[in-house]
Structure formats: structure tokens, C-alpha cells
Structure 1
């Protein structure tokens, strides 16, 4: 028997307001054709003032708990990945803890932007296997609309708000169920390629997203293909063994190019970027929950998750559902 972190449940939450490309074009110098051609995005969700990273994260967490058949009192660890916390401190994970009614447990945030969920999954996997908790809530939640420059059409059209969550449970298994391998990377010399031009220690302001899109695209395809190859090598599997890839939903062209580079069947790649845009740390768990709930991802499937974000940070995980 082997102790592994298994996927016990998934959940997601989206703000009430959905904004189409056509609606966005009424306030920004852009068009539906321009956005779709370059990104594949058609809609995004924008949080209302009463919707925050913590409230969206709590709603996603409650769905994941229900899917896992667990109560908040069963949770011993909450990790929330976000680049847009409710406050500088306390951690938004502690706000989620209070909102869902979980008792005293470990709760903290992880900041790795779009790769944050992969970082959080890796940390949770390690903690579960060392006995720190039996059940963990791992959440990716963002309100990126709060840090967008709505005069910059090269960035504001790309992002949206939302949350996704999973329950991971420590379980002794005699097969290959659960998280099989994870890989994480970071290279800080590229931090100026994708960043926010503000912060408590620098400007004392929140700031706005800034991005050098062409450079980000180039590094994303290379890094994502590489890290996907690494986790498959770690598990002794090949691309043909993969049932589903759940990628970070940043740009359809990046997703397609990465799949092509690895020889992955495009029909086996979960795509939600057209409906949600780039929800940063929330995009992988949002897409995972959608594919689980619509029946595409089934028990026994080999699923690979991947993401790259500002930093640069990037990572991947292979799991048997």
C-alpha cells in the first residue's frame, strides 16, 4: 500500500456578471474578431463589489466539499492560490475558513500567479503524505478585474474572475490512484515580462497588470511542453497514456501550440478559455471541475494539469482520478 493524495471532489464558482467581447468593445478600443483571433476568448466573468476572492473561493470550496461527501469540520488544511487577495493580510485562506465554518486548521495563501494552483497542489500533496492533515481544500481564486488597466486593450481583454477548488484526501492505495508526480519551476530574471506595477513595499498602491505578450507566449509554449514531459517521465508514462490535459486557460494559441509540441491529441485537451478568459490561479481548477461535472473526466483517467504565470513560474502535475 502507498499513501497518496487522491482527488476526492471538485467545485467552482463564477461571479454573477458575464461580459462578452461585444460588450467589452463598448468601453475599450477592441472588437470581438480581434480578441477571438488572437486569444480564443469570447466571454469573461467580472466580480461585483460584493464578490471577492474569498467569497468566490468559499463558494467553490463548498461545492468541492459536497462532491467529496465531507463537512468543513473534516478539513485540516486550506491552501488558497491567488494573486489578488482580499487584503495584504490576513491570508484569504483564513477568510474562506471562516466563511465555510471550518474549525481550527492550517490555512494560508500561495502566490505564484497563474501557476499558483499547481504550487498549492504540490504543497498540499507533500503535507498530506507527511500526516499534517487527512483532508485538504486546495483553491485557486482570483478577482483579476481589480488590477486591470481598462485603457490597455492588450491586457484587459485577456482576464476574468472566478474560483475553482479541489478536496485532496490522504489515502492508502494499492494501485496508481492519486497524485503521481508534480514538478515546479521558477525563473525570476523574467519577472519584468508579466507583472503588476505596484505593491505594498514599492509603490504602496495595488497597481495594474503589465505584460510583454510576445515574450510570454514564446516562453509559455517551451516551458509548458518541457514540464509536461517531466511529469510524464517521472511516472514512466507517455503522451499516448494521457486521457486528459487540463491546461492553464490563458490563450487558445498557447494551448494548441503546447499540445502540438508534445504530440497530444487536441480532442483530449480541456478548453474553457473561450468562456472564462484567463482566471489566473483559478483557471486550472475551474476547467477541471467543468470536465469532471460534464462527465468527460471519469474515475480511472490519467489527467495532467499544467500552468505558467508571472515570475516566471510554471509547473505540472499528473494524477489518476
Structure 2
């Protein structure tokens, strides 16, 4: 028996927020002081570092649970399964349903329960729960689904990554330009076909790193409200990621027994283009190799950082032929990898 992804689906919002749309923002330093540069320069430097030209925001009427449901519907249809046969619905997110222009996150009931409700699944033995694991949440959900199926308590799992980060960004923080909205979903099943999940690796660094990404106040000193926004120590995260993620990826690959030369694609969390390139280059350097061309498909330039949704969305787009000059074929060995709040790192070696 193998454990494979048998269906994929994604939801990419239609609303495009371009870099030029940030020209009118009042960006401030974290201490509230003025940044001594015009917004055009701030945005251009941002693009040079992150590779982001534009990002997608969900429609005002939609919440995280809605777009998670849209992606789930597509994955179920793609897998050609009966939704009543799903044993687990695992939804990775970080902020729950944050309605447009509200101050409070809504996580009761869970996003997974809301998705099950929207899918109209009647079977009470279909269990839904949420995973709060930072940006690596979807990969961790797949790892958990793998464990459920391997243990014999499940045959079919629906794993979703969905987020509406546009609802939790501080308009006075330059980092707000990174984040976006989206959802990706997969069906994970036991299979008689070869391949599937070969190995996985997970680590949590929380001694000094736990609060590298956190919820904090606006950068604007004259605004006194109860809202909190996603904040991060970008330089610390960069240094942490390029040091620790390649090691975790190597540990996962070594555990799998796969030769690095047989790795066809690395689908890494789209957090920052330069950081991702540095991670993958260092990963190959651990094997005394140079990073191959076209090994790392990227969507961040047009879709931004949609947290838990980036990896499953990327995988779905490639399989559907929606990403230029990128393809994954049956029998290919690929790697999923991510890093994010916690600080958490994980990776999966997978044979398509």
C-alpha cells in the first residue's frame, strides 16, 4: 500500500492588488518614525527583494472557510471520490474567518467544520479539525493524513490550506505588501499504485525563535484601536531559514533514500523569492552541487505569499498546466518544503 495525492484543487482570488496600489500608503518604521524615501522607492526595493509584482485579495464577501470550500470542491471532483467517504478534513490556516473590516478572528466552529457544512457531508464519522502551524500547516496536514492512513484508521483525507492574510495586515507596515489570499486542497488516499509519500521531516524551533512572527500593533503611533496585525522580524527569519531549512530538506531526502539527482522539482513555500533561492542553493551545496535550472517553480511574483495555500496552490497549478515552462509527470520525485511561524519547518519527499 502507498499513500498518494489523488486529487488537487485551488482557489485564486480574482482581485489583483498591484505594487502601484501601495503608492498612496503611509509607510512607517516599526517605532512609528517616518521612512526617508518616497513610496515608489520603497515599493521598488520591496520588489527587488521579494520578487512580488502583484498579489491576490479575496472578495469582501468571502472568508477563509469559503475559499477553502471552493478549493475542496475542486479536489474532490478531480479525485473522483464520493465526499461521504472522506474520513478526515484537515484545514491549515492561521487566523480563522476574519470578516472584511472587522477586528476579531472567528474560529468557532472550526474552519474544518464550516467546510464540512458547506460540502454538505452527512457522515458523522468524517472528522474535521484545524491545524495552526504557521505557513508549513498544509504540509503538516498531509503528514498527519499520511499517519492516519498508515495506521489504518483512515483511507481518505481532505487536506486544505487556506488564508485571507489581507484581513490582518497593517497598512502602515512595508511588510504588508508581501501577503495575499488563496486556498489549495488535496485528497490523500491509500493506493495500490507505486510512489506516494516516501519520507517526511518536521521540526519546531521555539527557544529563541518562537516570536519571530507575531501579532502586534500598527506602526502608526496616532492610531489607538484594539486591532492586531501580522508582524515579523524579517532579517531574523531570513537568517533562520537559510541556515535551518536546507538541513531539514537534506535530512528528509537522506531518509527517503532518493538520490538528489533524481529530484525533479522542489515546491517550496513562496515567502520571499531571494530567500527561497538562497535556501535551495544551500540545500544543493550540502551535496556539493549547484542548484539546477528550473528546479524551483515560483508563483510569488503574481500571487504573493498566501501562507498555507502557497504549496498546494503551486502543485495544483503545475498539474493543470497553468504555470508556464513547468510540468510534473507521473513517476517524478518531488519535494514539498516550508518554513513559518513557530518557528516551524517541514518537508516531504513524494513520488507522483
Which TM class, normalised by the smaller chain length? over 0.9
In structure 1, the gaps of 5 or more residues are 199-204
Alignment-derived partner of residue 91 in structure 1: 110
Alignment-derived partner of residue 183 in structure 1: 201
Equivalent runs, 1:200-215 vs 2, <5 Å: 207-215=228-236
Equivalent runs, 1:124-273 vs 2, <5 Å: 124-153=145-174, 155-173=175-193, 175=194, 177-189=195-207, 190-197=209-216, 207-263=228-284, 264-273=291-300
Distance 1:123 1:182 in 2: 11
Alignment-derived partner of residue 18 in structure 1: 16
Q: How far off is 1:206 after superposition?
A: 5.8
Alignment-derived partner of residue 32 in structure 2: none
Distance 2:121 2:26 in 1: 42
Give the aligned CA root-mean-square deviation in angstroms: 1.7
Alignment-derived partner of residue 37 in structure 1: 48
Which of 316, 322, 326 is matched with 1:289 structurally?
A: 316
Alignment-derived partner of residue 315 in structure 1: 346
| Count of residue pairs brought into register by the alignment | 311
Which is further off, 218-227 or 262-271? 262-271
- TM normalised by structure 1 equals 0.92
**Which whole-Å deviations, capped at 9, do the CAs of 1:32-62 have from their partners, x for residues lacking one?**
4222201001111112221111111010111
SS of match in other structure, 2:210: helix
Which of 41, 52, 75 is matched with 1:64 structurally?
A: 75
SS of match in other structure, 2:136: helix
In structure 2, the gaps of 5 or more residues are 28-38, 98-105, 218-225, 285-290
Distance 1:61 1:281 in 2: 14
Greater helix content: 1
- TM normalised by structure 2 equals 0.85
Distance 1:185 1:178 in 2: 22
Q: 1:194 to 1:78 in 2, by over 3 A?
A: same
Alignment-derived partner of residue 140 in structure 2: 119
Alignment-derived partner of residue 336 in structure 2: 305
